[in-house]
Amino acid sequence: MHIDLKKEVAHSGSGRFGIALFLLIVILAIFAPLLAGYDPTAQSPVDLESPSLSHLLGTNHVGQDIWSQLLYGARTSLLVGLSVAFLSTLLSAIIGASAALIGGLYDSIVMRVVDALIVIPVIIVLILVAAYLQPSLWILIILLSLLGWQGGARIVRAQALSLKEGMHVSAARSFGASRLYLIFRHILPDLSPILLVELIYSMRRAVFMEAGLAFIGISDPNMVSWGMMMRESLEFSYLDVWLWWLLPAGIALSLTIVSITFVGHALEPVMDPRLRGEASA
């Protein structure tokens, strides 16, 4: 049952590629102020300029430097992705594990709510709520987390249930191990691979949703976002600007999502060991 995650990812070509790409994006985001050259929100009188040495990707409709916007956009995407992944996985772990370990009426009530939340289309709820609240970045992160834990909770619960009945746990119990000892020593460590996979998939979902919501105009006006860049550039699709405005933003977002997907796919044998042996593909 103990799975070596590092080996799992290192053995997979796409997993290594995914991690390298993701780290590159993280580095670009961290050093954005050094690499950008301009304040991404500062407007200049030269709008819709073509790429040049002073503006690597030209300027947008209000004269903002697109290269700088692209770098700062990575910060927004990663901030939302990582925060939501962490918060919603935490919720999944607490709710799923407690349902499995406490059981009884609590378990059935929690699982009915989880099932109900799974069939509700999250994006429609988000749009309705956002239409009223017009969320700031942090409110958006909280909303995405509150609507993103249900699938993970179900997986965590199933895993915790089978762990609870596992041979090594019964053995420890028969030696007189306390409940807390069992939870911290046996159940939580064995849940960690599943939680990691859950973390990666929630991050992917969150990055995607943030960009999508920004694309339809639901975003923090103080933050630069790739989704927002794409929406703004679409209005100028009749000009050539889309080549250095829309495409870089779309490609940056796609590469971020691809890198997360590849890491997740390399970890999939953790969820389903029957697939093992192909991770080297």
**What residue ranges bind another protein (CB under 8 A)?**
14, 112-113, 115-125, 127-129, 131-132, 208, 211-212, 215-218, 230, 234, 237-238, 242, 246-247, 250, 253-255, 257-258, 261-262, 265, 268, 272, 274-275, 278, 281
Q: How far is the CB of 264 from another protein (least distance, A)?
A: 10
Q: How far is the CB of 34 from another protein (least distance, A)?
A: 28
Q: How far is the CB of 250 from another protein (least distance, A)?
A: 4
Identity of the residue, 39 or 278, whose beta carbon is nearer to another protein in the bound complex: 278
Identity of the residue, 86 or 242, whose beta carbon is nearer to another protein in the bound complex: 242
Identity of the residue, 51 or 212, whose beta carbon is nearer to another protein in the bound complex: 212
Q: How far is the CB of 255 from another protein (least distance, A)?
A: 7
Identity of the residue, 37 or 217, whose beta carbon is nearer to another protein in the bound complex: 217
Q: How far is the CB of 188 from another protein (least distance, A)?
A: 28
Identity of the residue, 32 or 117, whose beta carbon is nearer to another protein in the bound complex: 117
For the CA atoms of 51, 57, 58, 63, what is the dihedral angle to 10 degrees? Answer: -170
Identity of the residue, 107 or 177, whose beta carbon is nearer to another protein in the bound complex: 107
Q: How far is the CB of 207 from another protein (least distance, A)?
A: 9
